[in-house]
Amino acid sequence: MTAEPIPERRLEGRPTSERRRQTRDVFVEFRDVKKSYGSKQVLRGVNLKVFRGEVMVILGGSGSGKSVTLRHMLGLEAPDSGRVIVEDEDITDLPEEELYRVRKKFGMLFQSAALFDSMTVFENVAFPLREHTEMAGQELDRVVQEKLELVSLPSTGQLMPVDLSGGMRKRVGLARSIVLDPKVILYDEPTTGLDPITAHKINELIIDLQTKLSVTSVVVTHDIQSAFMVGDRIAFLNQGVFEWTGTMEEARDADHPVLREFLRTSAVMAAQPTKKE
Ligand SMILES: Nc1ncnc2c1ncn2[C@@H]1O[C@H](COP(=O)(O)OP(=O)(O)OP(=O)(O)O)[C@@H](O)[C@H]1O
Ligand SMILES: [Mg+2]
């Protein structure tokens, strides 16, 4: 086997995954979760533990069920069978009004950023505060400004989404997803569709937020560079189950043939020279 050009993780300023794993405090757990749409069985008995404080990367091919898995964490989908546990609470059968409370623990960056195009950046970020809190006036201004600064967009409040680049849209989406101070941030393909430099900035932002906000993060991606830069552990979704779970270090030597192929192909693709110089 040739050495694969998998990037090094950026470790400075971060607690080691070793230290995190010692706590073994499970934030989200899936127990034998099954989910079908029509005749198509997407999740075939998913087991997963996300530990408090870690960055868990979910890898898997297109249509393997990564977004579906995230939607189950939020209670936006209910499993056909199996259990979903969030902070020791079984949320599987909770009624909608209870799920509302559970969802406040999560910030979600959707695959498409999903900004409201008719609202300014400020109003987009303020939206969850207006919906879920009594906050108004100067306090609201301060919190929105603080979140925009966290994503390095301090003076964009009055812009409209149409004025923003793809990377900026993601960052505004991220500011909105953290405005209620979630305990967990879910990222669905945070770097897809971005050029490599912008993607790198988003990865740095994920790491910064992890450190500054002390959150737990789940990052869904096919971007192997991104996975190795931000992740503590990988869970590899294939054929409806997490066929392999382990640390980034273990992933390099994993003897799972499909995961190896997935890492190798993605890394080789990412290492291809581009015409841009
Ligand atoms: N609400 C739904 N109704 C019917 N089928 C669905 C629904 N949601 C997801 N699916 C199907 O479930 C499968 C998994 O979808 P999912 O969106 O989780 O894939 P993914 O791993 O996120 O893929 P991608 O990398 O392309 O985003 C797909 O075949 C999809 O068509
Ligand atoms: Mg998806």
Which residue, among 55, 91, 62, has the nearest Cα to 217 in the 3D structure?
55
Residue 15 has a pLDDT of 55
Atom of ligand 1 nearest to the CA of 65: 18
Find how far residue 42's CA is from the centre of its chain: 20
Instruction: For residue 220, give the ligand 1 atom closest to its CA.
Output: 22
- At 11 the pLDDT is 54
Those residues whose C-beta lies under 8 Å from the C-beta of residue 193, and which sit 6 or more positions away, are 166
- Give the lowest-confidence range in 9-13, 24-28, 171-175, 234-238: 9-13
Each residue of 181-237: pLDDT tens digit?
999 999 999 988 888 888 888 899 899 888 888 899 999 998 888 899 999 999 999
Take atom 9 of ligand 1 and give the residue whose Cα is closest: 68
pLDDT of residue 13: 52
Confidence of residue 277 (pLDDT cuts 50, 70, 90): very low
Whole-model pTM above 0.85?
yes
Residue nearest to atom 16 of ligand 1 (CA): 65
Query: Which pLDDT band, with edges at 50, 70 and 90, does 272 fall under?
Result: low
Give CA–CA dist 19/173, Å, rounded.
Answer: 31
Q: Residue 185: beta bridge partners?
A: 107, 217
What is the DSSP secondary-structure string of the chain? -PPP-PPPP--TTS--HHHHHHH--EEEEEEEEEEEETTEEEEEEEEEEEETT-EEEEEE-TTSSHHHHHHHHTTSS--SEEEEEETTEE-TT--HHHHHHHHTTEEEE-TT----TTS-HHHHHHHHHHHH----HHHHHHHHHHHHHHTT-TT-TT--GGGS-HHHHHHHHHHHHTTT--SEEEEESTTTTS-HHHHHHHHHHHHHHHHHH--EEEEEES-HHHHHHH-SEEEEEETTEEEEEEEHHHHHT---HHHHHHHHHHHHHHHS--S--
Most confident range (mean pLDDT) of 14-28, 74-88, 104-118 is 74-88
Q: What average pLDDT does this structure show over 262-272? A: 69
CA of 67 to the centre of ligand 1 (A): 7
Chain center to CA of 197: 19
- The domains located in the chain, with CATH, are 54-77+107-270 (3.40.50.300)
When pLDDT is averaged across residues 144-161 and rounded to a whole number, the result is 92
Instruction: Determine the pLDDT at residue 231.
Output: 94
Bigger pLDDT: 264 vs 188: 188
Which residues are bridge partners to 99 per DSSP? none
Q: Phi and psi for 270 in degrees, rounded to 5?
A: -65, -25
Distance (Å) from CA 62 to ligand 1 centroid: 8
Predicted local confidence at residue 8, as pLDDT: 53
- The whole-number pLDDT of residue 23 equals 60
Cβ of 116 below 6 Å from ligand 1: no
pLDDT of residue 201: 86
